[in-house]
Amino acid sequence: MIVVMEPGATEEQIRRVVEKLQSMGFSIHLSRGVEKTVIGAVGERRAEAAQAIEAMPGVEKVVPILHPFKLAGSQFKPERTQVKVGNVVFGGEKVVVIAGPCAVESREQLITVAKAVKKAGADMLRGGAFKPRTSPYSFQGLEEEGLKLLAEAREETGLPFVTEVVNPRDIELVASYADMLQIGARNMQNFTLLREVGACGKPVLLKRGLAATIEEWLMAAEYIISAGNWNVVLCERGIRTFETFTRNTLDVSAIPAVKSLSHLPIIADPSHATGKSKLVTAVSLGAVAAGADGLLIEVHPCPSEALSDGPQSITPEEFDSLMAQLRPVTTAVGRRL
């Protein structure tokens, strides 16, 4: 790390910082400019060390040199990770498309959508059984009944499914049905959940938090990996900005950025990112062209009857058209659908 001392820092203050860094096991390079003294400290990155030094008198700021993540970093593991969910492989040549309703509402709704998205070429099914909702008065999901319906839809279509888990106490239950566990944006820094999902071993779809930096997102992945689970797929689902026309702002640059920083596969969720069904297809094409390893798309047989996220859900017909438009784009970037 680099420690920048304040312009008026005394010799005594500089000496104390140097001693503290040495006592922490860092080797030191001191560099005195006209205005400021800068102390280079070579050693392992630990958040505690940086904060402790930053709190010392005379210190202006501390600049970390190493990324805080290790196991999640491309530095640690240069070859790209492939995550397998049944026969589906994230991070390979094939672009993986996960589709389905925001929430599982009924057998009929789910089976209809599952068959439709299967027919259109989807690889996996999505559907919420435990729903985190902004309002306590909103539909909160069918819970275990929803999981059973998802398993039934898998039976019917052969599509493995991903579903969200929101409570550490439900992990075992959800994992007993699901092929892949989703950590939602609101729980990206629910560290208890991350650790326990990591320990359970099932593949994990880790959505980016609404206001999470790429670094924090990879640190959330680090929680899961450090608990023993390397099967992590990242999902860019839009970040919160000042723009209100769209529900969130899809950070398309995050796709190549994550690929340069990490070995983990990354997919995009244009439904939550835009919040508007009319924008979903264009943004889907853009995300895949920018390198996304897959898509997560909300499809509902009748969006205006949806119990959640209707405005961003597309119909099976629109999904069919999206897949048709996506096919040549995947080819154009050297992949396949």
- Of residues 63 through 92, those in contact with a copy of itself by CB under 8 A are 63, 65-66, 68, 75
Among 18, 40, 77, 82, binds a copy of itself (CB under 8 A): 40
Whole-angstrom distance, CA of residue 197 vs CA of residue 275: 28
158 interacts with a copy of itself by CB under 8 A: no
Specify the stretch interacting with a copy of itself by CB under 8 A; choose among 106-114, 115-123, 137-145, 155-163.
137-145
> Which of the residues 167 through 186 are near a copy of itself (CB under 8 A)?
167-169, 186
Cβ 127 vs Cβ 104: under 8 Å: yes
235 phi, psi to nearest 5 deg: -135, 110
In 10 A of CB 2, how many CB atoms? 15
Cβ 319 vs Cβ 299: under 8 Å: yes
State the nearest-atom distance from the C-beta of 214 to a copy of itself, in Å. 5
Q: Which of 112, 108, 110, 105 is nearest to 143 (CA)?
A: 105
Whole-angstrom distance, CA of residue 65 vs CA of residue 12: 25
Helix (H, G, I), strand (E, B) or coil at 196: helix
Among 15, 31, 108, 324, binds a copy of itself (CB under 8 A): 31
State the nearest-atom distance from the C-beta of 10 to a copy of itself, in Å. 15
Among 82, 106, 226, 321, binds a copy of itself (CB under 8 A): 226
State the nearest-atom distance from the C-beta of 197 to a copy of itself, in Å. 13
Among 139, 148, 151, 201, binds a copy of itself (CB under 8 A): 139
Q: Which of 141, 149, 148, 203 is nearest to 167 (CA)?
A: 141
254 interacts with a copy of itself by CB under 8 A: yes
Cβ 149 vs Cβ 104: under 8 Å: yes
DSSP state of 49: H
121 interacts with a copy of itself by CB under 8 A: no
Specify the stretch interacting with a copy of itself by CB under 8 A; choose among 48-56, 81-89, 111-119, 145-153.
48-56
How many residues bind a copy of itself (CB under 8 A)? The answer is 109
Q: Which is nearer to a copy of itself, 127 or 160 (CB)?
A: 127
CA 177 centroid distance within chain: 22
Specify the stretch interacting with a copy of itself by CB under 8 A; choose among 112-120, 142-150, 300-308, 316-324.
300-308
Strands 266-268 and 232-236: parallel
260 interacts with a copy of itself by CB under 8 A: yes
State the nearest-atom distance from the C-beta of 239 to a copy of itself, in Å. 6
Q: Rounded to a whole number, what is the largest CA-CA distance in the chain?
A: 75
